[in-house]
Amino acid sequence: MSDLRSGSNLEKVLKAGHFAFTGECGPPKGANLEHLKEKFMPLKDIVDAVNITDNQTAVVRMSSWAASTILIQNGLEPNFQMVCRDRNRLAIQSDILGVYAMGVRNMLCLSGDHQSFGNHPQAKNVYDIDSMQLIALVKKMRDEGKFMNDEEIDGPPRLFIGAASNPFADPFEFRVYRLAMKIAAGADFIQTQCIYNMKKFREFMKMAVDMGLHEKCHILAGVTPMKSVGMAQYMAKSVPGMDVPEALIQRLRDAGKGKVAEEGIKFAIEQIEEFKEMEGVAGVHLMAIEWEHRVPEIAERAGMLPRPKI
Amino acid sequence: MIVANPKPISEILDMIKDLKKILILGCKGCVTVCNVGGAKEVGILASTLKIARIKGGNPVDITERTLERQCDPEYIAQVKDIVHDFDGVISMACGVGPQFLSEAYPKQRFFPAVDTTFFGGAVQHGIWAERCAGCGTCIIHYFDGMCPIARCSKSLMNGPCGGSAGGKCEISKDVDCIWDMIVRKKMEQGRLDDLVRFKPSKDWRTARDGGPRRSIREELVI
Amino acid sequence: MRLSYPSNIKIIQVPCTGRVDIIHLLKAIEDGADGVYVAGCLEGECHYLTGNLKARKRVNHVKKILMDLGIEPERVEMYNLSAGEGPRFAEIAREMYERIKGLGPSPVKMKNAA
C-alpha cells in the first residue's frame, strides 16, 4: 500500500479493486449542526466517502470544509468539494492546506455553477483558475510539494484528487477528450453527472475505455434516484447539461400515484446493477438529493453492503 | 468600441434635480457609433429633461455640445471658456469622459448619462455584444479568434463546462456558449489536438486585478 | 374629395416617415403640442422598404420616454394607411383629435403657460 497517494478510505477501496460507493450531503443553509448530522449520519458505514458540496447551485450554505471536518469528527470520510467560483488562488491553496490539516483526504475539483443560478446573483464571480487548473494545482501541491508560484510547502497536502465529468453536456464528441484532459491534469478519480440516458452513457464509456482512460483513473458513475415525475420533468427541462429521456419520465408516470418514488429507486438500482458489470466503471456516486435517509435501503437493495473495511 | 447603455431618465433627473443651468456634452467617439452619446442623443436627452422639468414646474436651461472625443485633453480643452457658466455638466461619453472632464475642471460638477458596459461590436443594428475583457494579455489565437475570458461566463481556459447545452450557456438560453463554438470550429478544421492541450492559469496582473493600468509608449512620449 | 378633418391639426410633410426621428416627436411635446402622430404608408409598402417600420419603433420609444416622465403615452401614435385612402386619413385625424380631447391639455403645455 506504499503507492497510496492520500491513504483515504476511498483510495484504498478503489485500489483494492472493490466497486466503490460514494454518497453526497449538501450542508444546511445555516449553522444547524443537528440538521447537518441528520443528513450525513444515515450514510455512515453505508458509503466509502461522502461528497460535501460547496455552495451547490450557488446557494450559500455552511462551508464545505467546515462540514467536512464535522464528518471526520463523526467517523465518516468526506470528499471535500471545492468550486473555483468563490475563491482566488490564495484562498484555494490556503483552504487546501487547512482541510488537509483537519484530516480531509479526498477533494473534488469543480468549476461550480454560475452565481446567476443561486441566491446571491449580484455576486462578483472569481474564476481566477478553472477546474482543470485546480486539478493540476492540487497535484502539484501534493506531488511536487510546491505552491502554484513554485515556493516550497511546509507539509504538502496529500489528497486523493477527484474531478467531475458530464457525459451529457454538449458538444458530446468533445466530452471524452475533456475527461482525458482532467485525468492528464491529475485526477485520480472521476464522478460523473447524474446519468439517466444509459444508451448515451454506454457510448461514452466505450470511448473512454477505447482511450484507456479507465486504466489511468477510477470512474464512478453518478446516480440520482428520481423522487417524482415533477423532479424528472424539471431536470429534463431546466437543468442545463442534464439528459433525461422521455421514456424514463413515462415509466415514472406509469408507476401511478404513490408509487413513483419506488419506481425511481428501482430504476436507480437497475442502473447500479448495470454499472457493476460495465467495463471501465469503478463505482457509483449516489447523489440522493434531500433523500439521504433512503440511501441505506438503496445500498442494501443494490447489493452494495457491507462496505469493505481496509 | 466601448459600448454603453443610456441611464434611466429618473436617475439622471435625480442627479440634476437642484441644477437650473446645465451643459450636456456628447462625444463623437464610441458612444456615437453605439448610438448612446452622440449629438443626436444629446438632443434627445436635452428635450426629455426639459419636458420633465417643465412638467414638474421647475424648468431647466440646457446647452448642447458634442466634442470630438472626451478621452483626450485636447478636446476637453474646447469647453474651457464655457464650462463654468453652468451649475453642472452631464457627460454622455463612456466612463472616461466625466473623469477627464473632472480632472480638467476641478471646480465643476460632472454627471454620467450612460452606463458603460463593455468592449464589443454591433452584431446587428441596435444589438451589441461583448468581445473583449481587456485582460492585457491576448490569448485568442489559441482559441481560433474567440475569447473565452470575455465570452465564457466562467472565463474557463479549459472548457466547456458541464453546463453547455445545445450551444447555449448554462446561465441563459440567450447566451451562446463560446466553448461550444470553439470546439466545433476546431473539430471542423481537424485541429482538436490544439484544444486538448492543458492551458495553464492566467497571470491576471495585466488585467484590472493588477491595479489601475497605464500604458506608456516611450517612442511617443516627449 | 374635400374631406374635412379637425382644423387644429398641423400637418408636417416628410418624404417618408423614416425621416421622422425621436427628437422631432419630443420637440413637438416640449414645445407644447398636446399630441403628435405619424401617418406612414402601409407596412410592407414602404418605397424605402423599412421607413415606416423605423418610424413605428421610434414612436414606441417616445411612448416609453413619456411613460417614464409620467405623461400619457397615448399622446403619441403611429398609423399606417395608403396614399389613396383620403377618408381613412380624415378618420384618423378625428380619432386622434377625440383621443387628445379626452386626455386634455398636455401637462407640459399647462406648466409652460403658467
B17 close to C (CB below 8 A): no
CB contact C31 to B (< 8 Å): no
Q: B207 touching A, CB under 8 A?
A: no
Q: Per DSSP, what are the bridge partners of residue A162?
A: A108, A189
Helix, coil or strand: residue A283: strand
Between B9, B43, B56, which is nearest C65 by CB?
A: B9
| A107 within 8 A of A80, measured Cβ to Cβ | yes
The C-alpha cell of A122 is what? 449580484
Instruction: Give how far Cα B145 sits from Cα of A28, A178, B71, Å.
Output: 43, 21, 28
Packing angle between helix A260-277 and helix A246-254, nearest 10 degrees? 130
Nearest CA in chain C to B41: C23
Residue of chain B with shortest Cα separation from C113: B54
Q: Is C3 contained in some domain?
A: no
pLDDT at residue C3, rounded to an integer: 84
Report phi then psi at B142, rounded to 5.
-75, -20
Is B196 in the A-facing interface, judged by CB distances under 8 Å? yes
Which candidate from B180, B200, B204 shows the least CB-CB separation from A171? Answer: B180
B159 vs A: CB within 8 A: yes
The reported pLDDT for the residue numbered B83 is 98
C66 inside domain: yes
For A116, the closest of B171, B177, B192 (CB atoms) is B171
Calpha distance A242→A166 (Å, rounded): 8
Question: What are φ and ψ of residue A47, in 5° steps?
Answer: -125, 165
| E strand spans, chain A | 20-25, 49-52, 78-83, 106-110, 160-165, 189-194, 218-223, 281-286
Mean pLDDT to the nearest integer, C2-14: 91
SS3 category, A198: helix
C-alpha cell at B57: 414646474
Residue A83: predicted pLDDT: 98
Percent of chain B whose pLDDT exceeds 90: 98
Does the interface predicted TM-score (ipTM) exceed 0.85?
Answer: yes
Interface contact B170-A240, CB threshold 8 A: yes
Nearest chain B residue (CA) to A184? B198
Distance, in Å, from the CA atom of B165 to the CA atom of A58, rounded to the nearest integer, reads 19
Q: Just give the CATH number of B2-118.
A: 3.40.50.2300
Q: For residue A171, give the chain B residue with the closest CA.
A: B180
For C27, the closest of B8, B10, B47 (CB atoms) is B47
Distance from CA of A201 to the nearest CA of B (A): 15
Distance of CA B129 to the CA centre of its chain: 11
Can you tell me which residue has the cell 450531503? A25
> Is the residue at C6 inside a domain?
no
Residues B109 and B88: beta-carbon distance below 8 Å: yes
Chain B residues closer than 8 Å to C65 by CB = 9, 48
Write out pLDDT tens, residues B82-94. Answer: 999 999 999 999 9
* Contact by Cβ (8 Å): C5, C94: yes
Range of the domain at C62: 17-113
Amino acid letter, C46: C
Report the neighbours of A using a cutoff of 3 or more CB pairs below 8 angstroms. B
User: What pLDDT score does B166 carry?
Assistant: 92
Q: How far is B62 from chain C (nearest CA, A)?
A: 13
Of the candidates A111, A240, A241, which has its C-beta nearest B154's C-beta? A111
Task: Say whether pLDDT at A118 is over 70.
Answer: yes
Q: What is the CATH number of domain A9-301?
A: 3.20.20.220
Task: Give me Rg for the CA atoms of chain C.
Answer: 14
Question: CA dist B198 to A33, A181, A261, Å?
Answer: 41, 7, 43
Alpha-carbon distance values, A200 to A173, A193, A252 (Å): 11, 13, 20
Q: Kindly give, in sequence order, each residue whose CB lies less than 8 Å from that of residue A207, ignoring residues fewer than 6 positions away.
A: A176
Nearest residue on chain B to C22, judged by CA atoms? B44
In this prediction, residues B141-147 reach a mean pLDDT of: 95
Let me know if B43 is exposed, middle or buried by CB neighbors in 10 A (0-12, 13-18, 19+).
Answer: buried
Query: What are the residue boundaries of the structural domains of chain A, listed by start?
Result: 9-301
Q: Which residues contact A37 (CB under 8 A, 6 or more apart)?
A: A70, A74
When scoring B17, B47, B124 by the number of chain C Cβ atoms within 10 A, the one with the most, hence best to mutate, is: B47
- Residues above pLDDT 90, as percent of chain A: 96
Picking from B147, B156, B158, B193 by the largest number of A CB atoms within 10 A of its own CB, the best residue to mutate is B158
Residues 6+ apart with CB under 8 A from A122: none
Q: Do A169 and B160 touch (CB under 8 A)?
A: yes
pLDDT score at B10: 97
Is residue C86 in a domain?
yes
Whether residue B51 and residue C29 make contact (CB cut-off 8 A), yes or no, is yes
Q: What is the distance between the alpha carbons of residues C31 and A37, in angstroms, rounded to a whole number?
A: 71
Closest to A130 measured CA to CA, from A117, A144, A112, A150? A112
Query: What size, in residues, is chain B?
Result: 222
Contact B162 A241 (CB under 8 A): yes
Q: Is residue A172 within 8 angstroms of chain B, CB to CB?
A: no
B47 touches chain C (CB under 8 A): yes
> In the structure, what pLDDT confidence band is assigned to residue A1 with cuts at 50, 70 and 90?
very low
pLDDT recorded at residue C83 = 85
Mean pLDDT of A130-157: 98
What's the pLDDT score for residue B116? 98
Please check the confidence at residue C8 and state whether its pLDDT lies above 60. Answer: yes
Cα–Cα distances (Å) from B56 to A9, B10, B23, B48, B49, in that order, read 73, 13, 20, 12, 10
Chains C and A share 3 or more Cβ pairs within 8 Å: no
Rounded Cα distance, B130 and A4, in Å = 47
- Grid cell locating B113: 448619462
What is the total count of domains within chain C?
1
Q: Residue B172 CB: number of other CB atoms within 10 A?
A: 12
Provide the shortest C-alpha distance from residue A295 to chain B (in Å): 26
Is B187 part of the contact surface with chain A (CB cutoff 8 Å)? yes
Q: What is the pLDDT of residue C110?
A: 66
CA distance B161 to C105: 59
> What is the rounded average pLDDT of the residues B145-170?
95
The pLDDT tens digits of the residues spanning C38-65 come to 999 999 999 999 999 999 999 999 999 9
Q: What are the beta bridge partners of residue C78?
A: C38
Which residues of chain A are within 8 Å of residue B194 when distances are taken between CB atoms? none
Name which of A84, A127, A240 is nearest B163 (Cβ-Cβ).
A240
Contact C11, C20 (CB under 8 A): no
Q: Are A208 and A280 in contact (CB under 8 A)?
A: yes
Residues of A in contact with B192 (CB under 8 A): 174, 177
pLDDT value at position A268?
97
What's the mean pLDDT in B10-30?
98
Average pLDDT, chain B: 97
B14 interfaces chain C, CB cutoff of 8 Å:
no
pLDDT at residue C113 in the model: 56
Note the pLDDT of residue A238: 87
How long, in residues, is chain A? 310
A129–B contact, CB cutoff 8 A: yes
Q: Does C12 fall in a domain?
A: no
User: Using H for helix, E for strand and C for coil, what is the string for B2-58?
Assistant: EEEEECCHHHHHHHCCCCCEEEEEEECCHHHHCCCCCHHHHHHHHHHHHHHHHHCCC
Statement: residue C112 has pLDDT above 80: no
Backbone angles phi, psi at B18, to 5 degrees: -95, 0
Task: Tell how strand B127-132 and strand B114-124 pair up.
Answer: antiparallel
Q: Which chains touch B (3 or more CB pairs under 8 A)?
A: A, C
Show Cβ contacts of residue B126 under 8 Å, excluding neighbours closer than 6 positions: B35
Work out the average pLDDT over A152-166: 98
pLDDT at C1: 66
Cβ–Cβ contacts within 10 Å for residue A144, how many? 12
In contact, A106 and A160? CB cutoff 8 Å: yes
Judged by CB atoms closer than 8 Å, whether chains meet at C26 and B51 is answered as: yes
Structural domain boundaries in chain B: 2-118, 136-209
Q: Are A269 and A301 in contact (CB under 8 A)?
A: yes
Q: Which residues contact A189 (CB under 8 A, 6 or more apart)?
A: A10, A14, A160, A161, A162, A163, A217, A218, A219, A220, A282
